Structure 1
Amino acid sequence: MKHAIVFLLVLMLSSCEYFKVKKTSSEAILNEELKTFNWNDVDEYPNFTVCDESASKAARQTCFQNTLTHHITNFLQDEGIVVSRDINDTILLEFQVSKTGDLSLINASVDSLTIDEIPNIDDLLNQSLTGLPRIFPAIKRGQQVTTEFKLPLIIRVN
């Protein structure tokens, strides 16, 4: 009988551990959730009104990039740039689309030869962003977010 009482007493004391509920703070849950995010990708890329919203994610991204590239290229062609030497350069443009849909040029990596021949290239690139169709910002987990991206632009002037 003593053995049964000791056994029940040990069983009761050790079984309390199984009934303890571990409380997890909201900060711990948030930190775990933040670790699972892929911060370099969005659910939906920025999009122009002229792009098909029902297309795939990759098709919308391509449409956005092509629309922006064509708009800038057409603007520069209409400017009638005159140079003394041939230019064949790739300019790396860094853009930011705010969560309100505002597009801004952050940086343009331009070769020194191109700057020598077209000293106002930065001003021309900034002016080319006027008159763009309306931009819908990128979406991440149902929220509009600010995004940055790089876009190469080939400049050929003969």
Structure 2
Amino acid sequence: MKQICVFLVIILLTSCEYFNVKKTSSEAILNEELQTFNWNEVDKYPTFSLCDSLSNKQEKKQCFTSILTGHIFKYLQDEIIVVTQDVNDTIDLKLQISDTGGITLLETKIDSLTIQEIPNIDVLLANSLNTLPKIFPGIKRGQQVTTEFILPIIISAR
């Protein structure tokens, strides 16, 4: 009987380790979650109200960029631009859509010939963004976020 009691005590002492619960800190959980995020993608791209009827993420992105480029083209067509030689250039606009829906032109990459022929092209591009319809910001995990992207614009003047 004494041997059985000693055996049970030994089993109880060694099995206590199995009942310990390992605690995970909230910082460890946060760090693990942050590493699973793809910070270069949003769940929903910025959009205009005209794009709301589309359901596919890629279609909404295409709708947003086509409305944006169409608006810029219309604005530039309404301006009187005189050039002395043909201009065919692709201008890269680095844009930022804030979490409140505001748009900011961060940077433009313009060829020197285009700047020579149309010296105020950067001002025209910035002004074209001021008359855009309301933009709804991008969404990441249910939160409105600031997004940045590069929009290529093809300029052709004769």
**TM-score (normalised: structure 1):** 0.95
Aligned to 1:51: 51
Q: Does 1:155 align with 2:150?
A: no
Aligned to 2:132: 132
Q: Does 1:85 align with 2:85?
A: yes
Aligned to 1:121: 121
Aligned to 1:39: 39
Give the number of aligned pairs: 158
Name the aligned partner's letter for residue 110 of structure 1. I
SS at match of 2:129: coil
Aligned to 2:74: 74
Task: Give the whole-Å Cα distance in 1 for the aligned partners of 2:102 and 2:84.
Answer: 36
Tell me, yes or no, if the aligned pair for 1:88 and 1:155 is still in contact at 8 Å.
yes
Task: Give the whole-Å Cα distance in 2 for the aligned partners of 1:7 and 1:38.
Answer: 54
Unaligned runs of 5+ in 1: none
Task: Give the whole-Å Cα distance in 2 for the aligned partners of 1:53 and 1:42.
Answer: 19
1:13, distance to aligned residue in structure 2 (A)? 1.5
Q: Does 1:64 align with 2:64?
A: yes
Name the aligned partner's letter for residue 152 of structure 1. P
Q: Which moved further from structure 2: 48-57 or 81-90?
A: 48-57
Instruction: Give the alignment's Cα RMSD to 1 decimal.
Output: 1.2
1:8, distance to aligned residue in structure 2 (A)? 2.0
1:53, distance to aligned residue in structure 2 (A)? 3.6
> Where in structure 1 do 4 or more consecutive aligned residues deviate above 6 Å?
none
Task: Give the whole-Å Cα distance in 2 for the aligned partners of 1:93 and 1:155.
Answer: 12
Identical aligned residues as a percent:
61
Task: Give the whole-Å Cα distance in 2 for the aligned partners of 1:80 and 1:3.
Answer: 104
SS at match of 2:133: coil
**TM-score (normalised: structure 2):** 0.95
1:3, distance to aligned residue in structure 2 (A)? 4.2
Q: What are the Cα deviations for residues 77-129 of structure 1, in whole angstroms up to 9, with x where unaligned?
A: 11121111111100011100000000111101001111111111110110111
Aligned to 1:95: 95
Tell me, yes or no, if the aligned pair for 1:50 and 1:133 is still in contact at 8 Å.
no
Unaligned runs of 5+ in 2: none
